[in-house]
Structure 1
Amino acid sequence: MSKKILKIHPDDNVLVALTDLEYGEVVEYNGNKIVLADNVAAKHKFAEQELAPGVEIKMYGSLVGKAVTTIPVGGLLTTQNVKHAASAFTGKTQSLTEWNAPDVSKWVDRTFMGYHRADGQIGTGNFWLVIPMVFCENRNVDTIKQAFIEELGFGHHDAYKTYVHQMVQLFKEGKEDEIASLPFHGSNGQHHKRVFENIDGIKFLTHEGGCGGTRHDANMLCALLAAYIHHPNVAGATVLSLGCQNAQVSILEQKIKELDPNFSKPLIILEQQKEGTEQDLLSQAIRRTFVEMVEANKLKRAPAPLSKLVVGLECGGSDGFSGISANPALGHVSDLLVALNGKSVLSEFPELCGVEQELINRCVNDEIAERFGSLMRAYARAAEAVGSGFDMNPSPGNIKDGLITDAIKSAGAAKKGGNSPVVDVLDYPEYISKPGLNLLCTPGNDVECTTALAGSGCNVILFTTGLGTPTGNPISPVIKVSSNTKLAQRMPDIIDIDTGPIISGEKTIEEMGEDILNFIIEVASGNITTKAMQLGQDDFIPWKRDVSL
C-alpha cells in the first residue's frame, strides 16, 4: 500500500500529503495520530504540531517560513498563515569533508556516440547556426530559415495549416455546420528525409538585443553568442550583422578567441551595410552556408567516455512533488556524473534562496564560496531595487500546487545538485571548465535559464516539471522530467521521463537516477530524440540585466 504522507527530514515540523486528504481524516506518523484540521490536497503541507505565530517552519531540515497565525495540528499551510523566511548566510562555516560518492563501476566503461571537435569537446548533436548580431537582422534570418528548412528536410508537416485549409474548404462548400465537429488528426512527421544525414538541424537564434541597450548588455550578448558558436553541438555558424549596432562583430570575435584561441570551425560573417542590397546579402549567406554544411556533414559520431557529458540541471513549472521525486533523482544523476569525472551545472540563483549556506559549505575553497555569496547578494539587491525580491519568485501555479514560499521552492530545487562538492561558480554567461558540480548564475525564468545553460557548454539539459512546461533549446537536447505520473499521462507530448514511481514507492531515487542516466546516454548518442526537439521547441532568450537606452 502506498504511503499517504511524508516527512522529508527528521528536523521538519510539517508533513507532505502524497495523496488527497480530507478534513477529519486520521493519519499516523511515527506512532502519533494526527487529525486533519483541513482538507489537504496532494503535494501540500500540514502542521505536525501546533505552530504559534512567529514559529519557524522547517522543511528539508531548513527554515522555509514562519507562521503568521496559529496553525493547529493537522492544519493546512497556506499563503495566509505562512510568510517567507530563509536562513542568513556567511562565509564557510564548515570545512569540506569527503563526500560519499556513488558506486559507478557499472558506468566506467560505458560510452556515448558523439561528435568529436578539434578542441576536445564532444557534441551530442551536430547543428549549423544562423545568428543575427542585432534584432534588425531578424527578418533576414527568418528569410534564410524559410529558404532552408523545407528543402533540407528539417521541416515538419504543418498539421494546423492543413486543419485551417479543411475548414476553409467546408466554408466554401457551404458546410459551416460541420466545422465545429471537424476532427484534428495531428502531425505525421517530417516531409521527407534529411539532405544531410549527419547534420541534426540548422537553427536560427533570433533575439531582441544587440542595440538600444547598455554596452554591458551588448557585451554579454556577444559572449553568449560566442559560447553558442563554440559549443560542442555546433558545427559552424553564419552571422548577420547590420554594422552600426552596439554588439559589434569585433567583440564577438574577441569572445570566441577567449574561449578557444585556436578556433577552427567554419564561421561566415556578413555585414549588411557593406554588402549592399538584401538580395546580395541573402544570396551570399545562403550559398556559403550550404557549401559549409556539405563539409559539416562529413563528420560522423564516434564513441566518447561519459566524462565528456556536460549536463545542465533546471526546473520549471514546479509543484509540491518536484523536490521529493524529480529533483532528487536529478541530484543522483549529478552525483553519478561527478563520480565519472563529468560536469553538471546547477542554475537558477533565485531558487537557491535559503540553501546558500549549505552550498557555500560544499564549495571546495573560500574563493569559490565568496563568489557564490557575492553573486547571490548582488542578485537579491538588484531584485529589491525594482520593488521585487526572491520572496516573490513562486508563480501562481507553484503556489496552487504546494510551493507557497520561495524558501520551500528553493529547498526542493537545490536537490537537483545532489551532494557532491561545488568545484566552481560561474557568472552569466561564463563557460564551464572544471569537471564536477558547477553553479551558474541565471534567472529562474525557464527559457532564459535553458539559454544560459547551453551557453555555459551543457551538451544535454535535464528539466524537471510538475505542472508541464513546453520549453526546449535550439542546440542542446532538453530532457523533460515529470515529478508526478498524472502530468506524464496528461501531457505525454512534452514529458520524456516520469519520476512519479518515486512518489508511489515503486522506485527509489537512486533507481530513477540510473534510469535517467541511461536515457541521457541514448539521447547523447542520437538514438532518442527528446520531445522538445520533436516539437521544435527552439527557445532562445538572452538574459537582459540592464535597462534600454
Structure 2
Amino acid sequence: MSDSLLKIHPDDNVIVALTDLPAGATVSYNGHTYTLPNGVAAKHKFVTESRQIGDPVYMYGVTVGRATQPIGQGEVITTFNLRHEADPYGLAQRQPYTYQAPDASAFANRTFMGYHRADGRVGTRNYWLVIPLVFCENRNVLTLKDAFERELGYAQSDQYRDQVRELLHLYQHGQIDVIRKMEPFVAPEQNKTIHSGDSISGALRRPFQNVDGIKFLTHEMGCGGTRQDSAALCSLLAGYINNPNVAGATVLSLGCQHLQTDMLEKEVRRQNPHGKKTLLMYEQQVGTEYELMTQAIKDTFLRLIEVNKVERQPAPLSELCVGLKCGGSDGFSGISANPAIGYLSDLLGTLGGRTVLAEFPELCGAEQNLIDRMPDDQRAEKFINLMETYAAQAEAAGSGFDMNPSPGNIKDGLITDAIKSAGAARKGGLAYVADVLDYTEPITAPGLNLLCTPGNDVEATTGMAGSGANLILFTTGLGTPTGNPISPVVKISTNTKLKNRMPDVIDFDSGPVIDGQQTIEQNGAALLDWLVGLASGTYLTKAEHLGQDDFIPWKRGVSL
C-alpha cells in the first residue's frame, strides 16, 4: 500500500487518498501522475480520468455512481458531481466463481472455553434473560433489573450518581457559583482506559460466578401493531431465548396482548426441539403487581442457582457463530477493518465455523458478486427476492437504498450508497455463500450466511443475535458505543486516530493496515487470536464494560 494513495481494483477510475493532499499537489501512482486542483482530504477519492455527464465511476471494480457534471482528472468526487448508481444483477448474469480457502492450520487445534448447551451449540456467555411479551410490562422489567443487578453485583458503576450527589450538595448549601466554575469531573483511574485484559469475573460481590449476567430487554411492541409485527417479535424473542449464550428466560405477560405465551412457547420449540428453561408470568392472572414481582423474583432466583452450576468447557473454534457488522463507517472502512474481518470470516469458515453478513441495504451494488458465490439458484433467487422486496418497500415510502449514507458517512468519503455498500460487502470475505436467511431465521450452515436486516446498527445487531450469533464484530471509522444484551459486540476501528480518541469504546484496531504496518491477513488473524480469549470469558468487550445493551426489534417496513 502506498504511503498516501490506494487504487483498490485494477478497473477503478478513482484513487483513495490515505492522507490529506493539498490543492495543486502533483502525485504519482503506478507510473501515472496526477495534479490535484482542489486538494483531497484523507478518505476521499479523485478521478484518474475526466468524466462527462452520465459517465460511470468505478470503485472496488464495480459501478458506484454516474457523473452529474463534468469532473476533471484529479478532481474529487462529491455529492455535487456524482449520483448513486449500481450495476444490475440477476440469475442471468451469474458467472463461474472460484475460491481458494486460506491456510487456517495455525488455528486448527485452538479451542475456547464455552458453555455447552443441550442442543449441541456452545455459548461464549452464560446469561439469564428477563423479557416482556408486550410494552405494558416494560416498567416491571426495569424494576426487576434494578433489584437483581444491584443485589447480585451486576449493576454499573455509580460514578454519575456520585457527581449528581456532589452537585446537589453544593446547590443545597447555596454554592451555585462554585458549580458554574467547576472543572469537568475527572474519570476515576480505573475507568480512563478499559483494557482488553480486564476480567469478566472482576465483580467479587457476585454470588453466581458462572452466571455472566441477567439481561433485561424492553421494547415497544407486542400489541396494537400489526399481527405480522407481533409474529416477527415472537420469532425474535424465541431466537434470543435459544441463543447459545442464554441459559433460559423469565417472560412477563400482561395477558390480553397479541403476542400470547403459547405462541412464544411454540416458536421456541419450533426453533429448538431441545427447548430452553422458560418461566412464564401472567399479570392479569396473578392479580396485583406485588404478587407478580414477588413470584418472578423468587422463581428467577431459584433458576439462577441451577444456571450457576454450568461451567465452561473446551470447544473447537467451529462452534463460534460470528456476526459481521459495520456502522459509523468512513472512507477507510472498506480498506482496512472490513476486509480484515472478511479474512477472519474466511478463516473461520475453513475451520467449520459460521459467520453472518447482514444489513441488506448496504449490499446494494455488491449483489452480483454474492449471487455468483451462491451454491445454487434456489438460494440466489431467495437473495434476489429479499433484496428486491426490501428495495421496493423503501421506494414506496419515498426512500430508496440510495438515501442510506448518513451525513457522517458522506463527510468521511462515502459519497454514494454503492461506494458504502461495496466496501461494506468486504466483511463477507471471498468464500462461497453457504445460506441466505430472512430476518429471525436461525443460522445453521457452516460458512458465510447472509441475513436480511436493516443497515441500522442496533436493528442489525439485534437481528444477528436473534439468529444465533454468539459474538459480533462491528467495524467503525467514526466511533459508536453499540452493544447487544446477549452477544458481545467487538468494536474495531478502521484507523488508529479513532482508537486513540475513543479508547473506551474501541476494542481492536485495524489502523495498522492503513499505516502499512500490517497486511489485511495479518490483522484479521490477530483479531481471531484475540477473539479466543473473549469467547472464553477471559475479558470483556468495552460495550460489556459500559453496560451497552442495545435492543431494537425491526418492524418489517422501511428502515435503512
Q: TM-score, normalised to structure 2's length?
A: 0.96
- Aligned residue type for 1:51: R
- Structure 1 residues 546 and 502, CA, compared in 2 at 3 Å: closer, same or farther? closer
Does the C-alpha gap of structure 1 residues 74 and 95 become closer, same or farther in structure 2, counting only changes over 3 Å?
A: closer
Residue 330 (structure 1) aligned with residue 311 (structure 2):
no
- Deviation of the 1:95 alpha carbon: 5.5
The separation in 2 between residues aligned to 1:52 and 1:294, in whole angstroms, is 70
Deviations 1:320-374 (A, max 9, x none): 0000000000100000000001000000000000110110010011100000000
* Residue 255 in structure 1 maps to residue 267 in structure 2: yes
Q: Helix, strand or coil for the counterpart of 2:91?
A: coil
Q: Residue 427 of structure 1 aligns with which residue?
A: 438
**Partner-residue secondary structure (3-state), 2:450:** strand
Calculate the aligned-residue CA RMSD, in Å. Answer: 1.4
SS of the residue corresponding to residue 53 of structure 2 reads coil
Aligned partners of 2:242 and 2:31: how far apart in 1?
A: 58
- How far apart, CA to CA, are the structure 2 residues paired with 1:17 and 1:273? 62
Task: State the match for 2:376 in structure 1.
Answer: 365
Q: CA deviation at 1:136?
A: 0.3
2:112 maps to amino acid: F
2:306 is the alignment partner of 1:298: no
Aligned to 1:74: 74
In the alignment, is residue 59 of structure 1 matched against residue 59 of structure 2?
A: yes
State how far apart, in whole Å, the 1-side matches of 2:113 and 2:298 are.
Answer: 31
Query: 1:115-264 to 2 correspondence within 5 Å?
Result: 115-179=115-179, 180-186=181-187, 193-263=205-275
Question: What do residues 503-545 of structure 1 show as CA deviations (whole Å, max 9, x unaligned)?
Answer: 0100000000001101111110001200010000000000011
Trace 1:406-485 onto structure 2 (pairs within 5 A): 406-485=417-496
SS class of match (1:163) = helix
The SS at the match of 2:22 is coil
TM-score normalised by L of structure 1: 0.98
2:21 matched to 1:21? yes
Contact between 1:241 and 1:269, CA under 8 Å: does it hold in 2?
A: yes
SS of 1:106's equivalent in the other structure is: helix
| Residue 496 (structure 1) aligns with | 507
Kept in 1: contact 2:156–2:546 (CA 8 A): no
Structure 1 CA distance for aligned equivalents of residues 508 and 309 of structure 2: 33
Deviation of 1:171 after TM superposition, in Å, equals: 2.4
Helix, strand or coil for the counterpart of 1:147?
Answer: helix
Matched, 1:379 2:380: no
Change (3 A) 1:92 1:308: farther
Q: In 1, Cα distance between the equivalents of 2:549 and 2:226?
A: 26
Aligned-residue offset at 1:175: 3.2
8 Å contact kept, 1:6–1:15: yes
| Conservation of the 8 A alpha-carbon contact between 1:57 and 1:65 | yes
Q: Do 2:14 and 2:46's aligned partners in 1 also have CA atoms closer than 8 Å? A: yes
Report the Cα offset of residue 546 of structure 1: 4.9
Identity value in percent = 59
- CA–CA distance in 2 between the matches of 1:535 and 1:474? 11
C-alpha separation in 2, matches of 1:192 and 1:182: 33
Shift of 1:272: 0.7
Q: Give, in angstroms, the shift of residue 97 of structure 1.
A: 4.2
In 1, the alpha carbon distance for the partners of 2:437 and 2:21 equals 43
Question: Does the CA-based 8 Å contact 1:92-1:360 persist in structure 2?
Answer: no
Structure 1 residue ranges, 4+ long, deviating more than 6 angstroms after superposition: none
> Equivalent residue of 2:436, what SS?
strand
Q: Deviations over 1:50-105 (max 9, x none)?
A: 11111100000000000111111110111000000001111163455441100011
Q: Would you say 1:392 and 2:407 are equivalent positions?
A: no
Q: What CA distance in whole angstroms lies between the structure 2 residues aligned with 1:498 and 1:177?
A: 43
Of stretches 171-180 and 52-61 in structure 1, the one that deviates more from structure 2 is: 171-180
SS for the counterpart of 1:350 is helix
Greater CA drift, 158-167 or 87-96: 87-96
What letter matches 1:402 in structure 2? G
Secondary structure class of the residue paired with 2:462: helix
